[in-house]
Structure 1
Amino acid sequence: MEFHIAHCNINVTDLEKSIAFYEKALGLKVVSKKETPDFTLCYLSDGKTPFELELTWLKDHPQPYDLGENESHIAFVTEDFDAAYALHQEMGCICFENKDMGIYFIHDPDDYWLEIVPQHK
């Protein structure tokens, strides 16, 4: 029996704002959407890997989500770390840096943390 990772889900309070953030900050594109009367599922992809990020918008949940201590995160690797850092600095979304490890974190509109890692060659 084999398994592979298909997607990771996060719930968002403003779907269009979140889509715009992920497109600008990480280059992710919408690949599919499922609309229901109660919620919308939106799948984003980098177009290179089979992994997708699922954004779930619950239409009756406008309040912020309780993310606890925000210790969970999704990591993204970039070939151009300096350009990514400059973009994220311009966007004002860098929330934590670990210069000793050579990484930093950005946060999305719902305050989910996303790790940015340089591609090691």
Structure 2
Amino acid sequence: MKFTFAHNNFNVIDLEKSVNFYKEALGLEEIRRKKASDGSFELVFMGDGTTGHQLELTWLRDWEKDNYNLGDNEFHLAFVTDDIDDAHKKHDEMGCICFENKAMGIYFINDPDNYWIEIVPAK
């Protein structure tokens, strides 16, 4: 028996704002979209065009809160970049850098729903 990664899911408050953030910040593209026939949810699967891994953004119509409880936010996605300096500059201009570890050469950005994404330089 073998298992392979398919996708990760983040629930989001404003689907289009999140889709646009992931396009601008990380260059992800929409792969497919699924809308419930009753309008209760909408899913957008985004990919990097290189790997098969996808990020599923889920919008729930009946979610009545302004945000999701992310606890201590100790979980995150990680992306490798071939140009950490340009990536850092772009994310700094976007105002989305939320934590830096200069000793390790990494930093984190946060999306519109405050999910953290680690940015790691290619080795």
TM-score range, shorter chain: over 0.9
Counterpart in the other structure of 1:95: 98
> 1:60 Cα deviation (Å)?
1.5
The DSSP-based 3-state class of the residue aligned with 1:57 is strand
Aligned-partner Cα distance in 1 for 2:5–2:31: 17
Work out whether 1:10 is the aligned partner of 2:10: yes
Aligned letter for 1:82?
Answer: D
The runs of at least 4 aligned residues of structure 1 exceeding 6 Å deviation read none
User: Over residues 6-59 of structure 1, what are the superposed CA-to-partner deviations in whole Å (9 max), with x where a residue is unaligned?
Assistant: 000010000000000000000000000000120001000000000000000001
TM-align CA RMSD: 0.6
Aligned-partner Cα distance in 1 for 2:71–2:91: 24
Counterpart in the other structure of 1:115: 118
**How many corresponding residue pairs?**
120
Aligned-partner Cα distance in 1 for 2:24–2:61: 24
Aligned letter for 2:96?
Answer: C
Aligned-partner Cα distance in 2 for 1:102–1:80: 12
Aligned-partner Cα distance in 1 for 2:63–2:112: 15
Aligned letter for 1:102?
Answer: G
User: Which has the larger displacement, 61-70 or 19-28?
Assistant: 61-70
User: Which has the larger displacement, 61-70 or 44-53?
Assistant: 61-70
User: Which has the larger displacement, 15-24 or 55-64?
Assistant: 55-64
Q: TM-score, normalised by structure 1?
A: 0.98
Aligned letter for 1:38?
Answer: S
Aligned letter for 1:14?
Answer: D
Q: TM-score, normalised by structure 2?
A: 0.96
Aligned letter for 1:77?
Answer: V
The DSSP-based 3-state class of the residue aligned with 1:101 is coil
- Gapped regions of structure 2 (runs ≥ 5): none
Aligned-partner Cα distance in 2 for 1:59–1:48: 32
Counterpart in the other structure of 1:61: 63
